[in-house]
Amino acid sequence: MDPEFEAELKGEGIPDDLIAWMATHCKTPARFAFYVDSKEEIQTLIVDQVASTRNNRTVRAALVELWRKHSAAQERRLSRAAAGIGDQDWEDPLEGFVRDRLYAAFAAYYHFRLRPTASLCDNLLARFKRELDRKQFTVVSMSRVRSQACAGLHRAKRLKVSDTVSMDIAAADDDSSDLQGVFDYIDRLQLVMTGWAVVGCFEVRDGSGSLRAARWLPWDLACEYVDRAKRKLLLPGGKMVDLATLQKADESTREMWVDLMRNNDLTMGQAVEKCFVDASPFWLFAGAEVAPAVAARSGASQTAERGRQGSNEVILVKDKDKRQARPARIADQTSRGKSICALWNEGKCQAKCPDNKLHVCNFLLQNGHVCAAAAHRRSEAH
C-alpha cells in the first residue's frame, strides 16, 4: 500500500484489519477513488467486507470523507491531463517545509515576522514561487487575492481582507461601497507585493562559493509602490478616485513589469523602480507626483541632494539660496524591542558591538517598519 495513503487511513482512525483488506483491493488513493462509484457503495463494498467493521457507521463516515477528497483530486488530475497540463497545478500549495523556508528567509533578512493577516494566501504564494522559478510571469486579478487569515472564509461572510480594512464608512455617503472597494483593493495590493517580497528573498552563491542574501524584490520597494498608489487616491478637488480607474492604472503598471521581466531580463525590483517613471502616465488622473519627503515647489532649478551628519542625517533641498532640512527616519529598536547600534550605521562601531546592540540597518521605512537588514548600514543604502 502507498505509505502516505496508509498513514492517512491510520490518521482517520481506520482499523488495521480494514487497512490490510484495502491494501489488496485499493492500495493507492487513485484506486480507492475509482473502486466505488458513489458514497453509498462504500458501506457494502468496503466497510462490510471485514467482520470487525461491519455496519460500523463511524468507519464509513471517515471513508466517505476520504473518498470525496481523493475522488475530486483524481477528477481534477484527469481534467488537467486531458487539457495537456501536468499533474502539478500552478496554484497547488507548496510543501510545508518549502513555504516555511520562504517565510524563515524573509524573517531572517528583515528581522520581521509576518502575521497571517499580512501574509498572502498559500495558493497564490505557490503561484508566485513557480512563476519566479520558471520566469513565466502573469498579472494576478485582485479579486482572487486573500490573506492567509481570510483564505478559508466565504466571500459573502468576509467583511475585510485583513485587519487593516475595518473602517466605519457604511453610512458615509452614497459612494461608500465604491470607497470601501478602493481601500479593499489597496489592501489586496499590499498582500500581493508582500507575497512577491517573500518569494523574492533567498540566498545565492557568489563566485567564492559562499552564500549571500539576494532580494529579487526588496520589501521596502514593494511597500513604496503601494504607498505611491495610496497617494493617488485623493484627486484634485478633494474627491476620491473610483475603483475602475485605480484598477486600470495598477494593472497597466504591473503589465509593464511583466514585460520588462520577460523581455529585458530584469528583476522585479528593477522593473518596479524603472516603472516609477515609465508608468507615470497611467497615474496622471491624480495630477503630478509629489514626493513624500518634501512639499512640491515651483521652479525648474529645484534639485535634491542627500547629506549625512552623523546620527543627525538630513535631506537638503536646494532651490536657489533657500534650503529645507528634514531629520532622517531612524529607529532605536527593532520591531521586537532589540536595541540597534547607531554608531554601526554610521560606520563607527567595531565588528562586535561593545554595548551588545544589534548591527542592523536602523532606517525607518515608509510603511512604519524598521529595515533591520544586517547586510548594509543605513549610511550605505538609504
pTM above 0.75, yes or no: no
Predicted local distance difference test score (pLDDT) of residue 196: 92
Condensed to tens digits (0 to 9), the pLDDT of residues 317-368 reads 334 343 344 445 788 887 777 888 888 888 888 778 888 888 888 888 766 6
Domains of the chain by residue range: 3-82, 96-286
Rg (CA), the chain: 27
- Residue 88 has a pLDDT of 53
Residues of the chain with pLDDT under 50: 154-176, 288-327
| Cβ density class 256-294: b for 16+ within 10 Å, e for less | bbbebbeeeebbbbbbbbebeeebeebbeebeeeeeeee
Q: Which three cell numbers stand for residue 299?
A: 521652479
Q: How far apart are CA 38 and CA 64, in angstroms?
A: 9
Residue 132: per-residue pLDDT: 87
What is the C-alpha separation between 55 and 46, in angstroms, rounded? Answer: 11
pLDDT of amino acid 8:
85
Report how far residue 157's alpha carbon sits from residue 71's, in angstroms, rounded to the nearest whole number: 28
CB of 268 closer than 8 Å to CB of 196? yes
pLDDT of 313 reads 33
How far apart, in whole angstroms, are the C-alpha atoms of residue 341 and residue 72? 56
Give pLDDT, residue 224.
92
**pLDDT value for 361:** 85
